Structures are given as structure tokens and as C-alpha cells.
Structure 1
């Protein structure tokens, strides 16, 4: 049988449209994808149509297309091509981060109420391109299916945390992670900059924090092991380097949240300025990991003033609205016998070390509030004995300031319910479900993907109090960038979908198929993955 030319062309287009549709894989899965008939040929000579107030987003898209086509698109205010549009009327429909991406027969449009929404539409367009786009020889064109994507995130807080206190990685690694976060529409980089084993941020008023506190002579090799690397480890960020990274993140619509640990996990600072501690025995930065003995002497006004001085410089550097103060794993034993602290507790009528910690935390919270920001801390800041270490339960009289954000990481999930019922905002990073230093046997990809930040049975009226989730890359036992990347990838993609995609749109089989393309991109860009 002889086929007519028109029938043959229609058949080819129909088959191609079906194939193209199958190739549109985006992580995190969008809210809705509606396919039309036919396709659009995206070519390197296409123009980007954009208003001046979208200059950052237009330039970003131009660079993406230039790497794959070998020529940079023109950015114009009028014409046809890829249109980037801001429409304030879309705010009620799409919120601050949603977008509408349309591929028609004559061009592509991305519409949103904000620059952030437009940027996320660009990320979805990026993932519709071939996975080796920009990493292989330049191509003349890419065929895209006709479609419309309407997309909004489930949660406003979608975070990745990098611990650089234990093992310093450096600016290029951080920027590499910010690029991957942007691709996956993650909007919060939680930067763990201080801990017992290293102080990684320049504080101009206290130069010894980095002169001494950023260096350790040795490093424990594995948990509970006496073996050491027999090599020094050091590194820190100058304030100028931090400004550069903040600007890099801002261009990718990522907010950087600094974590400055207090009152525990403080021994690197105490090694630099011995008067900050309670034991009088901390003279160098520890080489071992775990819950340490010494903490800040928060019964001394001079020590509290030091911490506020540090926060002054931190808050001046970081433009975001949240400052994380840690607050976890404080060893109360030295406090119970230290004269300054015993006298301070008696003066303030504080009945327990937990009350003392909350009293201190509230003072810091108020200080941060007065600077126009909010304090965040791990859920020990509420005073609960989540480690089961207290010999007898004391009556807790102090209450955490209501402006604080509770970062849940450990304990009974009912603690989340209690926190939201008492009016606190919560970020759920339950360690069993979100810690990237855990092995894939302990935390397989399927479990990462299945995590729901909203605990089962939580009353609907409290759901808005769950801001979202974070995934944490603790680095005690992860010394190299390659080993770190294998812990992060591909699980980071699962957490991106946890934070963005509505539960009824989640499908692990579909996610794994979409992950195949992302793995090609990672491999081409030099990222190691499990």
C-alpha cells in the first residue's frame, strides 16, 4: 500500500510528539503538565524577550542556551522567541514561586508573578532540553513538545544544609551545590559554619576565631576510633568570600541561612578565646567528633556580649531573614558546678540547665528579632530531653519565644504536633529521613522520596505551620568532595520533590525514570553520585 506524503508526515509528527512527550521529565514533578499537538523547534538563533526587571533571569537563560547552541541568544524587549513575563495578577494563583511555562508552535513563554517564579520556569525549560545539553558538541536545534506547565511549590522552605565545620570544602564546591539546588528549585542553603571542630567564618572583631579556631592538628578517622589522619585540617571564609557566595546564591534565588552554634558545639571558639568556656581545659580545636564537653559560659555577661558581637557581623553579612543558632547537644554537666552559671541561675530563678538554655536562647532570639530577623534552632531549644539523658525530669518554667523557628531533627514526632499547636513554625528534618551522611542501606533513595514533612494525623489547621524540610550533609566522616557528592546525589533530587511536589503527584517509579536524565547531566558536569 502506498502512503500519501501528507499522511506520512502526519504519522511521523504524531510519533515524534509521543516520543517528545515521554522525554519531558522534570524533577521536581510539576503540579500539572498539559500536552498539545505537534512540536516546536528551539534553535540557537532564537531571541529572549524580556523586560529590564528580568535582566538577571534573561542573562541566566542566555548563558544556558549559549552553552548548548554555541551562540548566545539576543535579549530584546519586543519580538518573538522565548518570552519572560511578570504578571502581578498571577500572584493569587501561583504565589511567590509559581510559574506557567508554555511551549507553542511559534515560541515559548514563561509567566509568573515574581522574578523567582520566572527563574523556576527557566529551570523546568532546562530540564526539557537534552541531558547532555551544554556538555556535548553544540547542536543546531532541539525539538520540544507543545505543552503548558502550571506549577507551584508545596512548601516555602526547601533546604539543603552543608556542614563545613568538620571538613572545609571551599567556595567552588559551594557554588557547585548552589547550581544543583537551583536546577532542583531548592531555595534555602543552610550553611553550618561553626562547631567544635572548626570555625569557618571571619569575624573581624575577634580575629583569633579563624587564626586559631579554623585549624586542627589532626582528625579522627572513624566513629569511636583511636586512629587519626595525622594531617592538619584548616580553612575559613573571609567576609568578602562570603559576600561573593551570597551574591551567587541570590542570582539563583537561593537564600543563605548561616548557622552559628550556641551555647554548645563551641570548642573551636573556646580554643581561640579560652575565657568563653566553662571547663578551663579547652586549649586547642578538637580532633574527635561527637557530643563534646565544653560549652559557652552563658552565665558571664562578657561571653553573651561576645556572641552578640559575632551575630552583629553575621547579620550585617547575610541579607536573609533567618539566623540559625544551633542549640543542640549541649552538655549540661559543667554548667551544674560552674560558679558563674550557678550564681546566674540563682539570680534569675532558673530551676534547671534546660531553663537556663531557654532563657539564654530567648535573649538571643530577642536580639535577632530587634535586628529585623528571626532566630531558628534545633528542637532542643524548646527544652525537651530528646536524648533521654536527664536522671530526673524537672519542672520546666521557661518558654521559648514564639518568634523562634523550631528545626526538628530528633525525638518523638509528637513534639512537632506540640510545637505547632503552641504557635511555633517548624521545619521538619527528622534525622531518620533526611540525614545525608547516613548510608544508603540506612536511608535508601525510596525512603528519602517517601518522606513527608507533615506528620501523619496532624490537624489540617496546623499544616501551614510546617514551613517545609531540609536535608543535612554532616561531614564528620565525609572528608572529600567526591565522597560527599556520592552521599548527596541522587538523594538531593528526592528531597527537592519532597519540598515542591504535592503528595498526589508523587510517583517513585516516574521519579526514577526522570532521574536517568539527571544522572547523565550530573556525570557530564563532573558530579559523582551513588
Structure 2
């Protein structure tokens, strides 16, 4: 094993002795193993007396990595010994699943069994539970872990086409994802804004295509530029080095060479490959561009085959990603060569021309012993025979491909686009849009319930994607990727039945400490136990009602216990509306918050890390004391909710008004009847019936904006143009009927509206039975 692997992985999952001094070790592992059997005893590794034994070259490499880890973090010298005197045994066992392992720790020794990748993944687990240093030595829990991954393909995509990221950062990125048992690094190497890999037969791809004169600043609508040139590319020698580096960590690098769209940088280098012949320039703007490879020009295919001929020796990956997404057909429709090819091949239209393009490239790669992956647009016009589909526009493309018996990698933007916002935009770095908090990533289930078991077998993997339009550097990339990649790791590795978000938040505290110690600039999560709270005031309506467990005696107070999101972190807070700093009080004990009737107190806090000293942005939670809303006296005409539909463009849900194009009554808050229109708005009004007093949580998930009001008060504010986003509000309601109003608009593109109402911890209302007009 190369020295670089020893030194780099020795730092993986590091944990300083000062962080935990408990004698009782915890089995906190991310991703959670398939099977854990804990026992009460421990194994202690002491000073220079600890010995290891390994039964193969592969096992010896893992043993040396573990020894380096113990030395670097605890000063513990793990020496080579014999089978008889060893305290830690690394056993190469090829009878276990290919990536599986078994770790057995008794009060006498620890035994790690696996074969190559399995041993490596077992080592990651062993290091995660090697965190409890006491005066006696390093204390390991007695445990038996039997583990193997749920999916074979467990990936992260990093886009370097928009911004070049240096080699040392790429290696660190691979180190971290490998430590999380992710095994595919999808490297997005070419884009409209830059070509990032050396192709010796076509030198202009790097002398011209890797450079742009400036970069779009802010969102597309702002039309501003930074005036600073940007460029960079990877030589073939650098690529070989990165691929080998990844292989040592059991990570396969999957290259992506975009075609037929996202080709502006290539066309700027070789204009004859486009339909118009140019001139072209490397794009300075984000978005989808009309300039694409000419599908009627044989020179285009010669060029791409030459490029792939140089690419293939660099990447031993079974898969080569050829993009296939966001390819406008405007130029093809106007191009004599493209139209001539459509006619000569008897194709129906330009979509079938794209299918021809992808199939032709697939045949070339198949002849070289490789398979293609493409984004779900490759379904359009007919899918290439042996293609694997990456489903990014939701799950629809993936499900259709699986039904056609094609392999699928699930990567829906609604759950796995790690360039989306993680919190309120006002407190986050500029992002492309959307809203994808950690808990939503963690909640993703990759096997759609409406596929048959046979069809589900074609879902071979899951991948998170980091697009870099608004991610100009390694530290910003880290911020967007982590800790959401920890949730991704658990989705891809752990059995569905083992997933528990509350438990995950506690287990990941140690991993975040490790990442901080290694200098990874992850987003610091919110504190555990922080949530918006409504204290139901029983006065004015008689009786405390359901949900009154949040009321703490006559003072009407809330007891807030905040836990740091990672080991060793500190929480500094304020309650007076001021911005917290490291000089603000530390939330070491429960915080008593006692709002007056109809008052809201805002708890603001920051989380400060122990190793780097970094602080999070300012997070806030509201604590409101509200009186119960009395039920309205009404006798409804019947079940269902009244609606008004408006078939025009709005910029906000609050602005939906005017003369309705359609109206009536429907069973629930459905926008299905309006979805054939490119843009629309809707207003729903009526009553919701609740059968018991309680603190009701109302959730609205919408794409684009929505507003939910109860008895004239706005409870959920989810307005604005955005990807699917969930916002919630809490309101105390007396049993009976309450006026409800939902406003919604869709500005074009994706559309979604889901309303959920229920007492927290209980079954939600069946709205078809609870809505009246």
C-alpha cells in the first residue's frame, strides 16, 4: 500500500482523546450497520503492549492503517504479533459478501473479517468505534457487527465543469466519501463553461475550451459578471493519479463527457462540430444553451470517438457517463445536415435523432467493453439497448426505465441535489435554488413502492449530485456536500428498517468531529432539540386539551434542552433578539422560555466547533404562547373544498386573484386538474373539521409557492418560486370546524401541492373526510 494511503486514511475518522473520556464506549457508526449485537464488556488496548495479526497482504494493509490511526490520535503503538498474542486480528475472508465484513470484539480480542473492500469498510467501522480513550488505554465495546451494503452503486457526483477544483481537493473529497463507504465518484468533466480534461489529439480543448473570460455573478436574471477569467484542466497524468488514488480506497471514478448538449466549450475549440459553424465562445453564463454537437455531421462522431479512445485507458470504470440531458433541438431543426440524417434514417423527429446519437455512442463503447450511463433524457425518442439511466427529474424516468428492464441509479433532484439550499436563503451561501435540508435527504427511499419486486431489482444504486454553478471553491463544495453526504451514505448502505433520523443525528456527532479535525468545511447543523414550538394557552376556552404536555405549570413555559450537533461543540444563545456571539451564554443547561399570552420569543444561537473554532450561521427558533382557536358555528353544505383556478402566470401565491377560469368543489387540495396549463394559480377555501382539541401541525409541500391560513390567520408561509419545499406551522384548535384557505401558484416547470394536518405524534387527518364547504 502506498505511503499516501497510509498517511491520508490514518486521519480518516480521527477523534482526539479529550473529546470522550467515558469508560463505557458507544457503538455510534455512520452508516448504521445491518446487524449490531452489543454486549456489556469491553476490550482495552494499552500502551505498547497491543499486538495485531494479519493473514494476507490485503489484511496487512488494513492493519497498518489501523495502527497508523491509533498512533496519530492516541499515541498507541499497535505492533505486529502472532495469531496467539494478537489483540486485533485482520482476517482476509473471501467467503463473505464482496463488500461485506464481520467485526467481533470480545474482552480478549477484536477480529475483523472481510475480503479487500470488505476489510476496508470494516476498518472504517472499527475506527468509528475506536474513540474512547481512558487512563487505562483505548476502550472498545464488546460487539458483533455483521454488515454489507444495500446497494452496489453508492455515488457522489462532483461537477468541475463550472469551476475547476484542484487535484489535492479532489483527493481529500475522495478520502471523505470513502470513509463513509461510498464507492463511486462521478466526475463531471465537460460543460458549456469549461472542458477540464486533456485530450492530446485535440489540444484546443484545453488551450481554448478550459478557459472562460469571466463568470456570471448571481442568479441568471441578474445578468451580472465578475470580470475575472477562470480556467483549469487536469492532465492525463493527473487523472491517472486521481483514479489510482481512488482505487486504493475502493472508489471507482466514473467520468462524464457531455453529449450532445452542454457542448459550448468543445464547440468554441472546434467550431466545425456545431450546426452553425460558430463562432462560439466558452460560456460565461449558467443555464441550458442551444449550441449543441451537430448530429448530422460525421466529423462530430469521429471527434467524440477519438476523445473516448483517449479517455478509456485512464478510467477502468465499467461505466462511462455520456450525459444526454438538456439538449435543445432548436439547431437540429434548422440544420440541413441533421434534417438530412433524420430523413435518411427514417426517424420520426429530433427526439429520435437524439436516441440515434446516444445509441451510436453506446455501440462504440460497448465494442470497447464498456457500458453507458445517461441522464433520464436519454429515454426520449427511445432508450439505447444497454443503457443505464440516472433519474434526476424526480423518479419518473427511473421508474419507466426499470419497467423497461433497464438498470437505474436514483438521483432525484427533489432529494439528492446537494447544491440546493439547506436552510433559509438569507443565512446561507448563494445557491441555485431549491430547499433540501438534512432530514429530507435522510428520508429518501430509493425503491418506489409502485414498482414490482422484479422491477425494483433494476434500481442498482443511488447518487447525490453536487453541481457547481454557485460553488466556486473546495470549501464551498464541502459546505454543500457535508453533512448531507452522511445521510446519502446511510440511504445507500443501510437496510431500510435500520434507518432512524433521531438516532442518526446522535450517531453522526462523532463523524462531524472527525471532519472538523481534518479541515472539512461542512455546514454545521442545527442543534439537536431545536424546533419551533407553540405553547397552547388553555384560558379562554375551558380545559387544557390535547397537546398541553408542552405546558409547564401555571407559568406557561417551555423547557428547551439543546444538544450540540457534534461532539465537543458549544452552543451560544440569546433570547432578547440580539445576534449571538462566542461571548453569549452557553446552552449547557435547559433553557426556560416563558412567553406571555400571544407573545413570541425567539431563541437565536450559533454552534462553535472545538477543533477549527468555526461557528455556524445564526439559527433561530420561535416559542409562541397562543390561545386555542374556537371552532366556528357552521353547518356545512357538504364534503369537499371549494376551489378557483386561474390559468395565467403569477409571481407569488399571495398575488393569486382576479376572475377565475374555473371553479367548483373537489375532495382535497389537488392541482391535478390545472397541471396541463404551463402556469397557473389556485385558491381553495372551506372548512376543516378536527375531532379533538389539540396542537395541530400543518405542513405544506409545494413547487412553487403556497400559503395556508386557519380562521383568517396565516399559519404556513411557503410562498415564492422554488423547487419542492416543505414548511410547517402549529396552531391550537378546539374540536369542530375551522375556516381554511390555501393559496398556490405554479410559475412553470415542476408543480406540486401537498397539505398535511394532524396532531404531532398521531395519525394525520384524512382530508377527504375532514374537508367541508
TM-score, normalised relative to structure 1: 0.89
Cα contact 2:60–2:90 (8 A) shared by 1: no
| Alignment-derived partner of residue 177 in structure 1 | 173
**Cα pair distance change 1:176/1:44, threshold 3 Å:** farther
User: Following superposition of structure 1 onto structure 2, how do residues 466-481 of structure 1 map, counting pairs within 5 Å?
Assistant: 466-481=459-474
* Aligned partner of residue 216 in structure 2, secondary structure: coil
* Contiguous gaps of at least 5 residues in structure 1: 1-15, 384-395
Is 2:445 the partner of 1:459?
no
Matching residue within 14, 37, 41 for 1:38: 41
**Cα pair distance change 1:40/1:163, threshold 3 Å:** same
User: Following superposition of structure 1 onto structure 2, how do residues 101-180 of structure 1 map, counting pairs within 5 Å?
Assistant: 101-112=103-114, 114-130=115-131, 141-180=137-176
* Aligned partner of residue 89 in structure 1, secondary structure: coil
Cα contact 1:282–1:294 (8 A) shared by 2: no
Q: Deviations over 1:71-129 (max 9, x none)?
A: 66344674513211122333xxxx211110111222211112x2000100000011112
Matching residue within 393, 397, 404 for 1:415: 397
| Alignment-derived partner of residue 417 in structure 2 | 435
Q: Equivalents in 1 of 2:196, 2:398: separation in Å?
A: 31
Is 2:285 the partner of 1:288?
yes
Q: Equivalents in 2 of 1:400, 1:381: separation in Å?
A: 6
Cα contact 1:70–1:139 (8 A) shared by 2: no
Cα contact 2:23–2:139 (8 A) shared by 1: no
Cα contact 1:449–1:498 (8 A) shared by 2: yes
Q: Equivalents in 2 of 1:235, 1:17: separation in Å?
A: 46
Which moves more between the two structures, 275-284 or 485-494? 275-284
Is 2:73 the partner of 1:68?
yes
Is 2:499 the partner of 1:506?
yes
| Alignment-derived partner of residue 237 in structure 2 | 240
| Alignment-derived partner of residue 368 in structure 1 | 365
Q: Equivalents in 1 of 2:488, 2:469: separation in Å?
A: 21
Q: Equivalents in 1 of 2:489, 2:251: separation in Å?
A: 13
Cα contact 1:220–1:287 (8 A) shared by 2: yes
| Alignment-derived partner of residue 681 in structure 2 | none
Q: Deviations over 1:35-77 (max 9, x none)?
A: 1231111245333322124344334333322322346634467
Cα contact 1:29–1:497 (8 A) shared by 2: yes
Larger radius of gyration: 2
Is 2:173 the partner of 1:190?
no
User: Following superposition of structure 1 onto structure 2, how do residues 48-59 of structure 1 map, counting pairs within 5 Å?
Assistant: 48-50=52-54, 51-59=56-64
Query: Which structure's relative contact order is higher, taking Cα pairs within 8 Å and 6+ residues apart?
Result: 1
Is 2:257 the partner of 1:260?
yes
**Cα pair distance change 1:358/1:146, threshold 3 Å:** same
Matching residue within 383, 395, 401 for 1:400: 383
Q: Equivalents in 1 of 2:79, 2:275: separation in Å?
A: 62
Q: Equivalents in 1 of 2:72, 2:503: separation in Å?
A: 28
User: Following superposition of structure 1 onto structure 2, how do residues 306-317 of structure 1 map, counting pairs within 5 Å?
Assistant: 306-317=303-314
Which moves more between the two structures, 56-65 or 460-469? 56-65
Is 2:51 the partner of 1:47?
yes
Cα contact 1:328–1:378 (8 A) shared by 2: yes
Q: Equivalents in 2 of 1:19, 1:454: separation in Å?
A: 41
* Aligned partner of residue 241 in structure 2, secondary structure: helix
Cα contact 1:56–1:251 (8 A) shared by 2: no
| Alignment-derived partner of residue 636 in structure 2 | none
Q: Equivalents in 2 of 1:58, 1:308: separation in Å?
A: 44
Q: Equivalents in 2 of 1:140, 1:337: separation in Å?
A: 78
Pairwise CA distance, 1:466? 0.2
* Aligned partner of residue 260 in structure 1, secondary structure: strand
| Alignment-derived partner of residue 483 in structure 2 | 490
Q: Equivalents in 2 of 1:421, 1:44: separation in Å?
A: 58
Pairwise CA distance, 1:516? 1.4
* Contiguous gaps of at least 5 residues in structure 2: 1-19, 424-434, 524-773
Cα contact 1:39–1:144 (8 A) shared by 2: yes
| Alignment-derived partner of residue 94 in structure 2 | 88
Q: CA RMSD in A?
A: 2.0
Q: Equivalents in 2 of 1:366, 1:58: separation in Å?
A: 44
Q: Deviations over 1:136-173 (max 9, x none)?
A: xx998310111110011111111011000101111111
* Aligned partner of residue 304 in structure 2, secondary structure: helix
Cα contact 1:97–1:116 (8 A) shared by 2: yes
Q: Equivalents in 1 of 2:135, 2:73: separation in Å?
A: 6
| Alignment-derived partner of residue 24 in structure 2 | 20
Pairwise CA distance, 1:226? 1.6
Q: Equivalents in 2 of 1:414, 1:331: separation in Å?
A: 20
| Alignment-derived partner of residue 350 in structure 1 | 347
Q: Equivalents in 1 of 2:160, 2:343: separation in Å?
A: 38
Q: Equivalents in 1 of 2:484, 2:280: separation in Å?
A: 39
Q: Deviations over 1:195-241 (max 9, x none)?
A: 10001111111111111111111000122222111111111111111
* Aligned partner of residue 334 in structure 1, secondary structure: helix
Task: Give the structure with the larger strand fraction.
Answer: 2
**Cα pair distance change 1:248/1:76, threshold 3 Å:** farther
Q: Equivalents in 2 of 1:139, 1:230: separation in Å?
A: 58
